[in-house]
């Protein structure tokens, strides 16, 4: 196998022209630690073992727009200062819990991938600052319950995937303040019931998937969205 190495991206080990690159990619190199001083717009660190990433290691990268940390185990406060980030991939980790303020700096984020982890809970307010988010994928985790209103601040969200979790129930009005949502997946959850007031004003909703659950009835206000049955 590969020997774990330390990636030290500093002026002493990077050519001047490389320091101006837009993209930085280091996949499957068994890297365990990263120092980075130049400022790309995209960083991809896939299939490594970055368990020793220091806190806020990416904070100097104010121009960073895309960050892929799939198949890694990132520290909990890596993202402070990444105010231009539009895409964040944390998929395929072993994350069990995310702090409620971990995404607070990411006000320009459009796409957030947290699928294929071991998340058991979503903290209250964890998505409140993601006002521009359009796509949120949380499928294939171990989430058994949702905090009331956890998605209410996502007024620009178009796609929400919650499939293949452990949800038995969903709070009342969970999807009440989502005027741009067009796709919602709850399939492959052990759902026993859903509240009568599950969905509110959702003029764009076109896809709602509920197969593979234990439901025997559908919430009454789902029928207020005839576009789902056309």
DSSP states of 137-162: E--SS------TTTTTT-TT--EEE-
Model pLDDT, residue 48? 61
pTM of the predicted protein model: 0.80
- Reply yes or no on whether the pLDDT at 158 is more than 60: yes
Tokens at 141, concatenated: 């985790």
Model pLDDT, residue 226? 59
Q: In what order do the strands lie in the sheet with 111-113?
A: 23-25, 42-44, 66-68, 87-89, 111-113, 135-137, 159-161, 183-185, 207-209
Model confidence over 216-225: pLDDT tens digits? Answer: 887 656 655 6
Model pLDDT, residue 230? 46
Residue 140 φ/ψ region, left for φ over 0, alpha for ψ in the -120 to 50 degree band, beta for the rest: left
Tally of CB atoms within 10 A around 11? 10
Model pLDDT, residue 218? 78
Q: Which position has the token pair 């576009």?
A: 227
Residue 133 to residues 59, 101, 177, Cα–Cα distance (Å): 20, 16, 14
Model confidence over 51-110: pLDDT tens digits? Answer: 556 667 777 777 888 888 765 666 667 788 899 999 999 998 888 888 899 999 999 999
Domains present along the chain, CATH in parentheses: 27-229 (3.80.10.10)
Of the two residues 28 and 150, the one the predictor is more confident about is 150
Model pLDDT, residue 16? 29
Tokens at 59, concatenated: 């904070």
What band does 14 get if pLDDT is binned at 50, 70 and 90? Answer: very low
Please give the full DSSP string across 75-103, using - where no structure is assigned: -TT--TT-TT--EEE--SS------TTTT
Model confidence over 175-205: pLDDT tens digits? Answer: 988 999 999 999 999 999 898 888 888 889 9
Do residues 78 and 57 lie in contact, with contact meaning Cβ atoms separated by under 8 Å? yes
**84: which residues sit within 8 A by CB, 6+ positions away?**
62, 63, 64, 65, 108
What is the percent of the chain with per-residue pLDDT over 90, rounded to a whole number?
48
b (16+ CB within 10 A) / e for 198-221: bbeebeebeebebeebebeeebeb
- What is the chain's mean pLDDT, rounded? 79
What share of residues in the chain are helix, strand, coil (percent, to 5)? 5, 15, 75
Of the two residues 10 and 201, the one the predictor is more confident about is 201
Q: Name which of 112, 171, 121 is nearest 141 in CA terms.
A: 121
What band does 3 get if pLDDT is binned at 50, 70 and 90? Answer: very low
């Amino acid at each position: 196998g590969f020997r774990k190495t330390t990636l030290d991206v500093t002026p002493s080990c990077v050519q001047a022209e490389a320091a101006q690159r837009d993209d930085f990619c280091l996949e499957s190199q068994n890297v365990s630690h990263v120092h980075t001083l130049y400022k790309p717009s995209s960083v991809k660190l896939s299939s490594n073992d970055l368990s020793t990433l220091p806190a806020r290691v990416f904070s100097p990268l104010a121009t960073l727009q895309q960050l892929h940390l799939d198949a890694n185990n990132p520290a909990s406060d890596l993202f402070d200062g990444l105010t231009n980030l539009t895409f964040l991939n944390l998929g395929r980790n072993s994350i069990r819990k995310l702090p409620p303020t971990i995404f607070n700096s990411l006000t320009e984020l459009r796409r957030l991938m947290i699928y294929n982890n071991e998340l058991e809970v979503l903290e209250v307010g964890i998505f409140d600052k993601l006002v521009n988010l359009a796509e949120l994928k949380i499928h294939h985790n171990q989430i058994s319950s949702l905090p009331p209103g956890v998605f209410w601040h996502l007024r620009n969200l178009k796609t929400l995937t919650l499939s293949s979790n452990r949800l038995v129930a969903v709070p009342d009005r969970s999807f009440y303040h989502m005027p741009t949502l067009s796709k919602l997946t709850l399939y492959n959850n052990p759902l026993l019931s859903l509240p009568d007031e599950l969905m509110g004003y959702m003029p764009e909703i076109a896809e709602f998937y509920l197969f593979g659950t234990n439901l025997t009835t559908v919430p009454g206000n789902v029928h207020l969205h005839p576009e789902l049955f056309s």
